[in-house]
Amino acid sequence: MRRPLLVLTAITFLTWIGARVTAVALPLVALAETGEAWATGLVGGMSGLPLLTVGWWGRGLRERLVSGRALAVVMLVQVAGLAIVPVAALVGQVGAVSLCASGLVTGVAGALLGPAERALVADLADAGALPAARWLAWQDLAHRVSMIFAPPLGAWLVVAWGAEPLLWCQTVVVLAAAAAMLGVPRAGGRAAGRGEAGPTVRVLAVLRTHPQVAVGIATAGVGGLCWFAFSLGLAVLGVEHGMPGALIAAGMSGYGAGSVAASLAAPLLVDRLPRLPTAVGTWAVLGLSFAALPAVVPSVAGVALVSAVGGLATPWGIAALNALISERTSGAERRAAFTAETVLHSGGASLGLLVGGAVIGWVGAGPVLVLAGAVQVVAAVVGLLAAWRVGARARRAGQAGSLTASTCASSSGVRSDSASTRCSTADLPAR
């Protein structure tokens, strides 16, 4: 199973490089073709709508995404969405309709692909008796490495080639990735065929069944929602201090370098980490780094250093949460849990960016950073307390089951018609 896992990791790496390069080129094409600044964010904004609602409309689809061929079909849908803008540019018809259509189509595909790829990685690792947590951490590393060099590469290619050719390159990259995905089998080892529909599982039902997974996902969702304070807040603080672009560049560079450094170690150490405390506690570290940023502004070096601390923490939390999901769930439940993680974390980030500008304009960038940091710390503390209560409840249930089993065992050799000495198999704890 190592080969398909390597293929999935390589696909993640290449497609994320293409996505980050396209993020540089797409706003330029929209601005050049429409002449309207507001149009530059239409694709990104519209792509967030399917992500926020995938738990509803994707319920019958995610149970079928259990093979490379099924994922390749979704990637072809993504190719169609990516091609809308460059095709419209060829005929001079780039406008709000084509930009919104591209965002919706690529958003639908992306909302399905992310959770399905992580679930397939975990399924293949389980089938090959390989550590799923480690392979998921490698996949996250491939994602984070692209943050370092893909945006500068995109900026250089825009100058060398122009923006429109880069959009075609992303389309070709995803098309090639879809072809490579055809070679990834089902986790059961059968030839890759069309995904077979499994039982329909509701996301909320999975979270109720696995409260520890729910705690980890909810905390990550709070972290995603608070991300706007970092990305928008530093940009605004830079302008306020007469350093437009400098502080956000320093913050993003420091965060990216720290997260990549941590991601290099995470695959090697993730199996030694306590799952839920790590998945919850690292968001408190990120929150503390947010709260500390106003104290070091306008120092570029200080912003980069504090941001790097937050970047060092985040990959451990994500790796531990992915490991927790892969170990506590399987099959349709696993795909539903990864979908919930994507909706709450990535969808929360999109929602935060949508309203974050207004919040910063009302409260101020510095106070918003401190408040967002405090919210993450509080969420982590509440999450750890909830995890402790869940663990204590499970231990009490286990002790009660052991007591019932021992009572039944001790009375099995005594004949009595009394209800107090009569045991049935229903009294025994499940094995």
Q: pLDDT tens for residues 169-207?
A: 989 999 999 999 999 998 764 433 334 445 678 888 999
Cα–Cα distance, 395 to 133 (Å, whole number): 25
Q: Measured at the alpha carbon of residue 110, what is the angle toward residues 104 and 111, in degrees to the nearest 5?
A: 90
3-class secondary structure per residue, 92-113:
CCCCHHHHHHHHHHHHHHHHHH
DSSP string, 315-364: HHHHHHHHHHHHHH--HHHHHHHHHHHHHHHHHHHHHHHHHHHHHHHHH-
| pLDDT per position as a tens digit, 21-35 | 887 788 778 878 877
Virtual torsion, Cα 60, 65, 71, 76, nearest 10 deg:
-20
**The length of the chain, given as a count of residues:** 431
| pLDDT per position as a tens digit, 220-276 | 999 999 999 998 899 899 989 998 888 988 998 899 999 999 999 999 999 999 999
Q: Is the peptide bond before 199 cis (omega within 30 degrees of 0)?
A: no
